[in-house]
């Protein structure tokens, strides 16, 4: 059993929890993920690690209550337990394999969309520990859905907020915000984009044109997270890869996003989709949508 | 009764069981078991024992059943096997112990598997459990994987007095017994859970949710966590795909995924959150036991199911009993047929599968006649679901994170057959991780051999 030591509501239906999990906290690295199963009948939910405290032996997760299991997870309070919590899974971020000197010479930009801000945070924080301060765009549909802005500001060189409805910061999506930054003379050697598939797709289309290498973090449907089920397969550079063991990060210019988007809808029923549009939440027995985006 | 035919075992009616997940085979009652046991000739030189990968003294336990002392029969089996209720259900007895039975020359072999199952089920129902007897020898062993190899190795080591912890990646112990083999062949809560508890009763600890190679490494287990030896029984969990066009379409699954959703995550039960795409017309590609399991699961979820296999019926690698049960339940067999392409609709979903007819050519290296395509015989099957059951290979997670651990070309760990010793001192391995996908009982045999190797290495 894994105790929840802290719970915070970050935005409507978006929750942050610190969970006591010694093994994950001791060996987790930026870019990796965990799988959470709240109780006997719960789904196995993959969530990217948002932060870890090696001394307190806690791991921070952020999730949006959208599916049957995540909605029930959101009802848990501090002091209560997850039945299962396993990780770290997947490969650490490519950036962690570079030397501090190399990183310090790089001009890095992170593009975070919605709940995708959570997995961006540990990378930006880790980079700062290496003496490298990155820029970060945080995008969301509206002001109420912007999360972790203050935390990010403490780690990043610059934080740019973009909202679709203009309720906060730049009026427009993150791709338009990136164009705007480039037009204002900013230059980047590398971009890391994490968020809804549609966002990552359009960021990659632009950065390919601009010739800026771009890493994306994929969070497809999966069960075991260790390479066993093959549900998380995607096409990268024409080859089938498993996000759980080969990823979750890939070269965004090689990922077949259209296929990934179709696969993401595998367990969404027609009724579920209608309800999603109506209420911003799904009903019935469908897969969690871990990225938590609403397109 | 002339003793030539075996006592039939009661089963659920095919038409009834095709719609439920209850166990197909109901097993013998004591009267039936004693009558079947009476058919055993108690040979002086019992061939059946040679056919058993863990060398159970078969005539001895059958003799006890004959005399009505079921507890003694169970105790006898337990000297050799920690998982008799499981083996009695899933061992390929027809090609092992029962294949060597003298009775089988002129009539039916003695139903050894069903008798083993009867004794084990009786013990569970009477709450007879093995007891922890061994005095601690002070040695600590880490066992990776809680499938048949790991459970057997752990049980043997605990019996010898070692302190054993099993590390399991999933949230539930049992490996393939939990995620792979369906409820209707191997009930989880009663049979699997109970036999795992029997291993734990010997003093074995199980830590679930620990992925060795990620949560902790083999080196850390040996150097930081104080284990004197490690046994790797991590199985062969990586699914294979065909590499044909359309394989990433929605509605194409590995058998591993389909079965894990149903067995481990209990998607067939409305009370559980995990969904499954049951399908209305399903093709299962492959002819092994796993293919039969996936097909029969899809059938129970309400689909019309076809087994698509490139060779003929004689070459089906699945157990005869499984094929027989599948046919009885209404699974359709499209033999000498091989998929060439999966057809996808505009939303990314499977709408059909293009196949080609095959004929059998010359025998290949495995001795089986190899299938050859018949030119121009392509045709389309209309389908909404395809389940790929083409075998599995070992997961490289441990080998790639452990220095000094050699693998062969098939990614299998290199281990000595007599001891299970790998190329890294103090590290042993057995089961599918070494052989590639095989059977429960072979993995148990390897676990047992490795336990001996480990005890020798530890000098106890």
Do both A119 and A162 map to the same domain?
A: yes
Count interface pairs A-B at CB distance under 8 A: 114
Question: If you write DSSP's letter for every residue of B399-434 in order, what string do you get?
Answer: GGGSTT--B-TTSPBPB-TTT-BBSSTTEEE-THHH
Tell me the mean pLDDT in the region B104-108: 92
Do both A137 and A245 map to the same domain?
A: no
Do both A140 and A209 map to the same domain?
A: yes
ipTM above 0.85, yes or no: yes
Residue B379: is its pLDDT beyond 80? yes
Q: What is the pLDDT of residues A100-133, one digit of tens each?
A: 888 888 999 999 999 999 999 999 999 999 999 9
End-of-domain residue from the set A89, A113, A130:
A89
Rounded Cα distance, B208 and B205, in Å: 10
Q: What percentage of residues in chain B have a pLDDT greater than 70? A: 100
User: Which tokens in the block code for residue B272?
Assistant: 């559980």
Owning domain of residue A274: 218-295
Q: Do A67 and B241 touch (CB under 8 A)?
A: no
CA distance A241 to chain B (A): 11
Find the CB nearest A263 among B243, B250, B275. B250
Q: What is the pLDDT of residues B268-287, one digit of tens each?
A: 888 888 888 989 999 999 99
Mutation target vs A (from B167, B211, B267; most A CBs, 10 A cutoff): B211
User: Which tokens in the block code for residue B270?
Assistant: 């409305």
Average pLDDT, chain B: 93
Q: Do B215 and A43 touch (CB under 8 A)?
A: no
Find the CB nearest B275 among A44, A233, A267. A267
A235 Cβ under 8 Å from any chain B Cβ? yes
Q: Which residue of B has its CA nearest to A240?
A: B248
Average pLDDT, chain A: 88
Q: What is the pLDDT of residues B286-344, one digit of tens each?
A: 999 999 999 999 999 999 999 999 999 999 999 888 999 999 999 999 999 999 999 99
Do both A102 and A35 map to the same domain?
A: no
Tell me the mean pLDDT in the region A144-172: 93
* pLDDT classification of B437: cutoffs 50, 70, 90: confident
Do both A198 and A156 map to the same domain?
A: yes
Tell me the mean pLDDT in the region B167-185: 95
> For chain A, percent helix, then strand, then coil, each to nearest 5?
30, 30, 40
Q: What percentage of residues in chain B have a pLDDT greater than 90? A: 84
What is the predicted pLDDT for the residue at A294?
A: 35
Tell me the mean pLDDT in the region B57-78: 95
* pLDDT classification of A237: cutoffs 50, 70, 90: very high
Contact predicate A195/A116, CB 8 Å: yes
What is the predicted pLDDT for the residue at B366?
A: 76
Do both A132 and A35 map to the same domain?
A: no
Contacts for A270 with CB less than 8 Å, ≥ 6 apart:
none
B278 Cβ under 8 Å from any chain A Cβ? no
Residue A67: is its pLDDT beyond 90? no
- Sequence-ordered alpha helix ranges (H) in B229-278: 255-263
Do both A183 and A231 map to the same domain?
A: no
Find the CB nearest A68 among B238, B273, B347. B273
Bridge partners of A141, per DSSP, are none
Residue A291: is its pLDDT beyond 90? no
End-of-domain residue from the set A89, A120, A150:
A89
Query: Sheet containing A170-171: which strands, arranged edge to edge?
Result: A170-171, A158-163, A135-140, A108-113, A190-194, A214-217, A249-251
Q: What is the pLDDT of residues B206-255, one digit of tens each?
A: 999 999 999 999 999 999 999 999 999 999 989 999 999 999 999 999 99
Residue A286: is its pLDDT beyond 60? no
* pLDDT classification of B177: cutoffs 50, 70, 90: very high
Rounded Cα distance, A241 and B435, in Å: 25
| CATH number of residue A48's parent domain | 2.40.30.10
**Residue that has been written with the tokens 């310090």 in this structure:** A104
Residue B380: is its pLDDT beyond 90? yes
User: Which tokens in the block code for residue B317?
Assistant: 């690698």
Looking from the CA of B36 toward its CB, the CA atoms found within 13 Å total 25
B400 Cβ under 8 Å from any chain A Cβ? no
**Which residues of chain A are within 8 Å of residue B249 when distances are taken between CB atoms?**
262
End-of-domain residue from the set A56, A71, A89:
A89
User: Which tokens in the block code for residue A165?
Assistant: 């409805």
What is the predicted pLDDT for the residue at B33?
A: 95
What is the predicted pLDDT for the residue at B234?
A: 94
CA distance B254 to chain A (A): 6
Do both A164 and A239 map to the same domain?
A: no
Q: What is the pLDDT of residues A181-210, one digit of tens each?
A: 999 999 999 999 999 999 999 999 999 999
Do both A202 and A279 map to the same domain?
A: no
**Which residues of chain A are within 8 Å of residue B271 when distances are taken between CB atoms?**
41
Q: Is the dihedral of CA A63, A69, A71, A73 positive or negative?
A: negative
What is the predicted pLDDT for the residue at B132?
A: 75
Question: CB-based burial of residue B174 (10 Å sphere; 0-12 exposed, 13-18 middle, 19+ buried)?
Answer: buried
Do both A199 and A126 map to the same domain?
A: yes
Do both A8 and A79 map to the same domain?
A: yes
What is the predicted pLDDT for the residue at B9?
A: 93
Tell me the mean pLDDT in the region B20-44: 94
Q: What end-to-end distance do the CA atoms of chain A give, in Å?
A: 35
What is the predicted pLDDT for the residue at B451?
A: 96
Residue B264: is its pLDDT beyond 50? yes
Contact predicate B36/B7, CB 8 Å: yes
How open is the CA angle B419-B420-B424, to the nearest 5 degrees? 110
Find the CB nearest A228 among B256, B272, B274. B256
**Which residues of chain A are within 8 Å of residue B237 when distances are taken between CB atoms?**
224, 226-228
Rounded Cα distance, A203 and A209, in Å: 10
pLDDT higher at A96 or A272: A96
pTM (2 d.p.): 0.91
User: Which tokens in the block code for residue B447?
Assistant: 């676990």
Residue B41: is its pLDDT beyond 80? yes
What is the predicted pLDDT for the residue at B278?
A: 87
User: Which tokens in the block code for residue A188?
Assistant: 């980047």
Q: Do A263 and B171 touch (CB under 8 A)?
A: no
Number of structural domains found in chain A: 3
What is the predicted pLDDT for the residue at A267?
A: 83
Find the CB nearest B239 among A83, A88, A230. A230
Q: Which residue of A has its CA nearest to B211?
A: A87
Query: Sheet containing A2-11: which strands, arranged edge to edge?
Result: A51-53, A58-64, A14-20, A2-11, A81-82
A86 Cβ under 8 Å from any chain B Cβ? yes
Rounded Cα distance, A274 and A264, in Å: 16
Bridge partners of B333, per DSSP, are B307
A41 Cβ under 8 Å from any chain B Cβ? yes
Q: Do A84 and B241 touch (CB under 8 A)?
A: no
| CATH number of residue A140's parent domain | 3.40.50.80
Residue A221: is its pLDDT beyond 60? yes
B361 Cβ under 8 Å from any chain A Cβ? no
Residue A271: is its pLDDT beyond 60? no
Question: If you write DSSP's letter for every residue of B281-321 in order, what string do you get?
Answer: EEEEE--SHHHHHHHHHHHHTT-EEEEE-SS-GGG--S-HH
* pLDDT classification of B373: cutoffs 50, 70, 90: very high
Q: Do A27 and B214 touch (CB under 8 A)?
A: yes
**Residue that has been written with the tokens 């001394």 in this structure:** A55
Residue B99: is its pLDDT beyond 70? yes
Do both A135 and A151 map to the same domain?
A: yes
Residue B360: in which H helix or E strand, if any?
strand B350-363
Which SS3 state, helix, strand or coil, does residue B150 take? helix
What is the predicted pLDDT for the residue at A281?
A: 38
Q: Do B214 and A89 touch (CB under 8 A)?
A: yes
């Amino acid at each position: 059993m894994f105790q929840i030591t802290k719970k915070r509501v970050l935005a409507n239906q978006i929750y942050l929890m610190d969970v006591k999990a010694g093994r994950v906290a001791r060996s987790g690295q930026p870019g990796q993920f965990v799988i959470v199963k709240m109780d006997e009948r719960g789904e196995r939910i993959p969530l990217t690690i948002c932060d870890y405290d090696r001394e307190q032996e806690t791991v921070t997760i952020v999730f949006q209550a959208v599916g049957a299991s995540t909605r029930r997870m959101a009802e848990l309070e501090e002091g209560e337990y997850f039945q299962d919590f396993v990780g770290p899974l997947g490969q650490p971020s490519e950036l962690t394999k570079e030397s501090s000197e190399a990183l310090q010479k790089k001009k890095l930009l992170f593009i975070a969309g919605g709940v995708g801000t959570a997995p961006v945070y540990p990378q930006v924080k880790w980079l700062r520990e290496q003496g490298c301060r990155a820029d970060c765009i945080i995008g969301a549909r509206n002001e109420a859905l912007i999360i972790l802005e203050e935390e990010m500001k403490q780690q990043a060189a610059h934080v740019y907020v973009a909202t679709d409805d203009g309720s906060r910061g730049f009026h427009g999506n993150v791709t338009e915000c990136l164009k705007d930054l480039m037009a204002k003379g900013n230059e980047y050697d590398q971009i890391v984009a994490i968020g809804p598939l549609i966002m990552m797709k359009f960021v990659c289309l632009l950065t390919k044109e601009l010739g800026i290498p771009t890493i994306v973090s994929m969070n497809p449907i999966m069960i075991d997270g260790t390479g066993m089920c093959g549900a998380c397969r995607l096409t990268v550079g024409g080859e089938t890869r498993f996000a759980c063991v080969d990823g979750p990060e890939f070269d965004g210019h090689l990922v077949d996003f259209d296929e990934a988007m179709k696969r993401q809808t595998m367990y969404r029923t027609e009724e579920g989709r209608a309800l999603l549009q109506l209420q911003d939440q799904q009903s019935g027995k469908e897969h969690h949508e871990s990225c938590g985006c609403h397109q | 009764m002339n003793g030539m035919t075996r006592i039939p075992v009661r089963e659920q009616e095919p038409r009834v069981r095709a719609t439920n997940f209850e166990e197909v085979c109901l097993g013998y009652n004591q009267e039936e078991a004693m009558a079947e046991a009476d058919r055993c000739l108690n040979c002086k030189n019992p061939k059946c024992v040679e056919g058993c990968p863990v060398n159970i003294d078969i005539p001895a336990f059958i003799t006890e059943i004959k005399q009505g002392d079921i507890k003694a029969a169970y105790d006898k089996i337990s000297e050799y096997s920690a998982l008799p209720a499981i083996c009695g259900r899933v061992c390929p007895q027809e090609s092992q112990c029962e294949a060597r039975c003298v009775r089988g020359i002129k009539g039916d072999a003695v139903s050894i598997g069903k008798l083993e199952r009867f004794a084990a089920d009786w013990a569970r129902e009477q709450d007879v459990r093995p007891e922890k007897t061994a005095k601690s020898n002070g040695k600590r062993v880490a066992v990776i994987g809680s499938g048949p190899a790991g459970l057997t190795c752990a049980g043997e080591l605990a019996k010898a007095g070692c302190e054993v912890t099993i590390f399991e990646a999933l949230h539930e112990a049992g490996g393939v017994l939990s995620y792979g083999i369906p409820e209707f062949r191997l009930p989880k809560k009663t049979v699997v859970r109970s036999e795992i508890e029997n291993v734990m009763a010997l003093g074995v600890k199980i830590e679930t949710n620990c992925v060795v190679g990620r949560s902790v490494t083999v080196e850390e287990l040996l150097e930081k966590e104080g284990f004197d030896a490690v046994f790797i029984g991590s199985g062969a969990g990586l699914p294979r795909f065909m590499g044909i066009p359309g394989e990433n379409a929605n509605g194409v699954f590995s058998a591993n995924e389909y079965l894990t959703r149903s067995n481990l995550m209990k998607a067939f039960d409305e009370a559980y959150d995990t969904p499954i795409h049951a399908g209305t017309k399903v093709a299962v590609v492959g002819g092994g036991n796993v293919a039969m399991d996936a097909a029969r699961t899809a059938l129970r979820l309400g689909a019309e199911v076809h087994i698509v296999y490139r060779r003929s019926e004689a070459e089906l690698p699945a157990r005869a009993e499984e094929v027989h049960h599948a046919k009885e339940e209404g699974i359709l067999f499209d033999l000498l047929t091989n998929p060439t392409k999966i057809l996808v609709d505009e939303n990314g979903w499977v709408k059909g599968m293009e196949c080609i007819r095959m004929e059998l050519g010359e025998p290949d290296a495995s001795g089986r006649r190899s299938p050859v395509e018949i030119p121009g015989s392509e045709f389309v099957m209309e389908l909404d679901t395809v389940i790929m059951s083409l075998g599995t290979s070992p997961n490289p997670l441990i080998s790639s994170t452990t220095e000094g651990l050699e693998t062969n070309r098939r990614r299998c760990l290199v281990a000595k057959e007599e001891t299970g010793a790998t190329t890294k001192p103090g590290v042993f391995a057995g089961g599918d991780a070494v052989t590639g996908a095989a059977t429960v009982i072979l993995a148990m045999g390897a676990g047992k051999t490795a336990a001996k190797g480990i005890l020798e290495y530890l000098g106890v």
